[in-house]
Chains A and B, each alone.
Chain A
Amino acid sequence: MIAAIGLVLGIVAGLFLEPTVPTWLQPYLPIAVVAALDAVFGGLRALLDGIFDDRVFVVSFIANVLVAALIVYLGDQLGVGTQLSTGVVVVLGIRIFSNAAAIRRQLFRA
């Protein structure tokens, strides 16, 4: 319950404070968003499977975002940034999809 308030607070803060992302961070924002979505869907699935764990969720979320950003940063330095971010998006996208499919199976038994 309190956790849901945290989510709402985050959304409200994002809407009203409109934090500006510094330019050097902007290339990593899309990747961070995909990583965050991946963590969210993973958490939802774990919740439905009955094995949700707060700590794992938070750590996996932060770690996913950081690792994804790091991969893209590394790629940028080596000249393969775009390709690597495509790779990250593809891998995380597949994970999101299969997690969403698992959630669907849990919810609708189909």
Chain B
Amino acid sequence: MAAMPAPPAAHDQPAGTTRRDDSMSLLRNLVEDSLDEGYARAASRREDGAPRSRTTVWVLTGGLLLVGLLLTTAFVQTRERAGSAQEARDALVAEIEDRADANDRAQRQLDRLRAAVQRDQRNALELTGTGAALSDRLIRLEGVTGAAPVVGPGMTVRLEEAADDGGADVDPRTDQTDDGRVTDRDLQTVVNEVWAAGAEAVAVNGQRLTALSAIRSAGDAVLVDFRPLNPPYVVEAVGDPDTLRTSFVGGFGGSYLQVLQGYGITYAVEDADRLELPASAGVSLRYAASTAPSGGPTDERDDKK
């Protein structure tokens, strides 16, 4: 043992034989000298008869106090940090919900005010003979453009996403398996085919579509006029009750739905006797000025859609 050259920490290995793991002395040291050498030295000192002072018990007490303090401090800190992160998250979620509620309230107020304006406008126009004609025209135009709610017979197309897909807990940035999802493109195609089948007014999940509407996506959410929709998606269309459904199902729309069904998306196309479609959230022209003889540029100042 004494003959062994380098590392000072020698082990119960007969001198002369080389260990197979000699080349890994660093690792071996790590694993085998796990106990602090000081303990062995102190033990051998004690055997030599060196006196043990009585104060050491206080040293040990202080040391253990430090150990306990350090470990609990780390524990408490970690817990606190996790707690504050959770709190911040909850606060943010609550704020989002508050803002969404406030948004909805403001939207409802806007709808109410807009309806009141339309009513007053109509009343004012009907005071004169030419005004009455204009009012009729206005009502017709508002129905066509989506500025006013409409009622009428038609059909509904209901798209339901596949039940077994990842759902909301899948990270939208990495989720590639969106097979069972209804995408913005699917909705665009269905809506286009509904228009092509002869619909006169279309709404998706209660969002009226106008000439300015866009169906887009942000992450996994489908947006109509920048408002996110939740599945299932219901396309309501007002049109000729005799031909609307047959020409939609018989045309490309029907075969497209068949294709979607292959991805697990279920659909239902039904006739409806009476559909009430709301007015669009915002019909306003910012740059285009109307050149119709009856009026100049609209002075409606709506929120940006």
Contact = CB atoms under 8 A, between A and B. Distances in A.
Interface of A: 2-15, 18-19, 21, 26, 29-30, 32-33, 36-37, 39-40, 42, 45-46, 49-62, 65, 91, 94-95, 98-99, 102
A75 B75 CA distance: 25
A54 B55 CA distance: 10
Nearest to B44: A51
Chain A to chain B: the 9 pairs with minimum beta-carbon distance, closest first: A10-B68, A14-B72, A6-B61, A58-B63, A53-B42, A51-B43, A54-B60, A98-B34, A56-B38
Interface in B64-105: 64-77, 80
Contact of A54 (B43, B59, B72): B59
Given A51-B43, A94-B30, A6 B60 contact: yes
Nearest to A3: B60
28 contacts: A2-B57, A6-B63, A7-B67, A9-B65, A10-B66, A11-B68, A14-B69, A14-B73, A14-B75, A15-B72, A19-B69, A29-B77, A33-B74, A39-B67, A42-B35, A45-B34, A46-B36, A49-B39, A51-B42, A54-B59, A54-B63, A55-B59, A58-B63, A60-B38, A61-B63, A61-B66, A94-B30, A95-B30
Nearest to A4: B64
Interface of B: 30-32, 34-36, 38-43, 46, 56-77, 80
Contacts of B38: 53, 56, 59-60
Nearest to A101: B34
